[in-house]
Amino acid sequence: MNKGDFDRKFDLAFEEAAQHHSVTPDPTASWKKVERQIKRRRKQMKRIKLLPYAAASFLLGALLFGTPAATKAFHPFFQVIQDAHQDVVTFIFGSSTQDHSGAKTAPPDPMAASTEMQTSGEKTSKRFDTWEQALEFVSFPPISLHDVPPGFTLTDVQLFFTDARQKANEAVLRYTKDDSSFRVVIRMIENNETISTVADKKSSTVETVQVHGSDAYLTISNDGRLRLEYLFANLHLSISGNLKKEDALRIANQIK
């Protein structure tokens, strides 16, 4: 067989083999790729199945331990002190549903009672000789005052009624002793209401003290007058006048 016949027959045999046979690739690499995809899919499915349990666990934790937002909802009243101005300290009392970040107050007398700094609606007043007589006409739960400094007597009680209401949200009790006097102002804070007072840093000093285990603000002017104010439940209380610091704290801590 010459070389030409051999080449012709080889080409024919190769062509026939190519038409009737196929080359099967090694499946190892492809299977490994598919296996990795299957494992990844299984992990994703496991995570999806665990999502309801994770959500339930999160909600349970929120109910048991609470969050800052949820905790705040159960404490609707606040008191803050702002020292934003060079010569003035501002005290703000109110309910948490009110935006108090921009509250501004500029009364002419920094030692004036806070209940006279803000008015809402038309006010009328009525006087009583005793606190027991006035209690029938107040809208807040009755509170009692004890341990008044020796020599001071209750002069009168004045209730303030807003918008012709039958019950008063504000009461002023005045005590006198010779040339000295002080008063206790009780103001119920309603929803979306703030009460602001100020202290002039040039003519007074400001101190944070404790009343019933909570912060209270004590302002003492250069002439000896003082004002002690704080929150008592939903009430803003202010004790002001010619008193010693220890006497004002004793009165406040005895209020029940």
The residue out of 38, 65, 92 marking a domain boundary is: 65
DSSP for the chain? --HHHHHHHHHHHHHHHHHH--PPPP-HHHHHHHHHHHHHHHHHHHHHHHHHHHHHHHHHHHHHH--HHHHHHT--EEEEEE--SSSEEEEEEEETTS--TT-----S-TTS-GGGT---S-EEEEEESSHHHHGGGBSSPP-----PPTT-EEEEEEEEEETT-SSBSEEEEEEEETTEEEEEEEEE--TT-EEEEEEETTTEEEEEEEETTEEEEEEEETTS-EEEEEEETTEEEEEEES--HHHHHHHHHH--
Return the pLDDT at 146: 79
Q: Are residues 61 and 80 in the same domain?
A: no
Indicate if 181 and 119 belong to the same structural domain.
yes
pLDDT at site 225: 94
pLDDT score for 207: 93
Show the domain range for 250: 76-254
Are 226 and 117 members of one domain?
Answer: yes
- pLDDT, residue 181, reads 96
Domain membership flag for residue 175: yes
60 and 95: one domain? no
* Strand bridging mode 214-221 / 77-82: unpaired
Q: Assess whether 15 and 90 both reside in one domain.
A: no
Task: Tell me: do 42 and 147 sit in the same domain.
Answer: no
The answer to whether residues 186 and 233 belong to one domain is yes
Q: Are residues 54 and 131 in the same domain?
A: no
Total of domains in the chain:
2
110 and 236 share a domain? Answer: yes
Return the CATH number at 163.
3.30.200.100
pLDDT average per 10 residues of sequence, the chain (256 residues): 59 55 51 64 60 45 36 54 76 67 40 41 90 95 87 96 91 95 93 85 92 94 94 92 95 92
Confidence at residue 64, expressed as pLDDT on a 0 to 100 scale: 36
Residue 200 counted as domain residue: yes
Q: What is the pLDDT of residue 97?
A: 54
pLDDT at 80: 79
According to the model, what pLDDT value does residue 110 have? 37
Handedness of CA 107, 157, 252, 178 (dihedral sign): positive
Give pLDDT, residue 182. Answer: 97
Give the per-residue pLDDT at 24. 47
Pair 54, 83 in one domain:
no
**In the listed set 12, 41, 65, which residue is the last one of a domain according to the structure?**
65
If asked whether residues 121 and 231 sit together in one domain, one would say yes
